[in-house]
Structure 1
Amino acid sequence: MRVTLDLILDCSPDAAWEAVHSPAVFRAVSGPWTTVESLEPGGFPSRWPGGDHRVKLRMLGVLPMGTQLIRLSDEVAPGVRTVHDTGGPLSGPMRTVRSWHHQMAISAAPGDGGRTRFRDTLTVKAGVLTPFVTAGFWVFWQLRGRALKRLAPGWNT
């Protein structure tokens, strides 16, 4: 099943593109509901390169949610740039998710080159639990969307 956001962000597409490659932004839009710790040597980089990154997740900073593989790749097409995460949960309660594809598409907002259209789509499969897992991610995605809109104006600096 799929969870989506289609937002207009108050920042340039270039600023949004850099933000979706920022571990600091990832942690900011995940929290405080989910805290994220890098499991990579040296911790989080200042900017996500493509490839694999392992993280540990906790709900509200205390409830272990397990580990997750973030597997990033970029796709650049005329007028839209997309980050794909095809990793997924490795351990813990989120391991019920068997298929994971997160896409963040960045383009200029219609009629306004100074703002960004941000399409955030998560497609998950968890067998018979898929509707329940999707409902949980839907709630998280709404909170994430609010955080993205709140933080975006600061990305232009």
Structure 2
Amino acid sequence: MRIQLKTVLDCEPDVAWRALRSPAALREIYAPLMMMEPETEFPTMWDATTTTVGLSLAGLVPSGRQRIDISFDDHRSDGVRILVDDGAPLTGPLALLGSWRHRMAVAPAPGDAGKTLYRDRLDIGGAVAPALWLPLWVVWQWRGSRLAELAPTWAYDPEIQAVDEAPTA
């Protein structure tokens, strides 16, 4: 079964790509509904990596552990950059799913290269997938609204400018 989200974010594609690769941005997107606590310290930016997080509803109700298994498809000729999470729920209600694959893609928005076309796809499988599809769809809609809300606030990297050197005596 598939859950999809497609929206235009009010930020440049490079900024959205940086945010997708940021564990801090991921935590911000899900807060305050879902809190993530890493079993080992998060890096500043995701590389191709595997890590495990504990999940809790509002930081109060433990809801399981999730393995995050990150890879990238970011050298495509069409300019689309994709972050793939082939991890899986390890414990909790989502662990009843038989499969989990999450892909997030960014590209310049059609007609406005200063904005980002964001696509998010979650493929789930297993006997309980039909029962969990609607709750996950609701979370994905909420996630989309959080992305739209946060995107304009994501920081731009400062431009590196040459500094004129003062004459030496």
Q: Are 2:141 and 1:139 equivalent residues in the alignment?
A: no
Q: Please show how residues 1-157 of structure 1 align to structure 2 within 5 Å.
A: 1-40=1-40, 43-76=41-74, 77-78=76-77, 79-127=79-127, 129-157=128-156
Structure 1 vs Structure 2 CA RMSD: 1.0
Structure number with higher strand proportion: 1
Aligned residue pairs total 154
Distance 2:30 2:130 in 1: 21
TM-score, normalization by structure 2: 0.88
How far off its partner does 1:106 sit?
0.6
Supply the distance in 2 between the matched residues of 1:156 and 1:36 (Cα, whole angstroms). Answer: 22
Question: Given residue 123 of structure 2, which amino acid in structure 1 is its aligned partner?
Answer: T
CA distance in 2, matches of 1:134, 1:24: 27
Which structure 2 residue ranges, 5 or more long, are not aligned?
Answer: 157-169
Contact 1:100 1:125 in 2 (8 A): yes
Deviation of the 1:93 alpha carbon? 2.1
Aligned residue type for 1:116 = T
| Runs of 4+ residues deviating >6 angstroms | none
Q: Deviations over 1:61-118 (max 9, x none)?
A: 1211111100000002122000000001111222112201100011000011100000
Q: Which has the larger radius of gyration?
A: 2
Q: Tell me the alpha carbon deviations over residues 7-36 of structure 1, each in whole angstroms, 9 at most, x when there is no partner.
A: 100000000000000111111111211110
List gaps (5 residues or longer) in structure 1: none
Identity of aligned residues (%): 41
Relative to structure 2, which stretch is displaced further, 54-63 or 113-122? 54-63
Q: If the length of structure 1 is used for normalisation, what is the TM-score?
A: 0.94
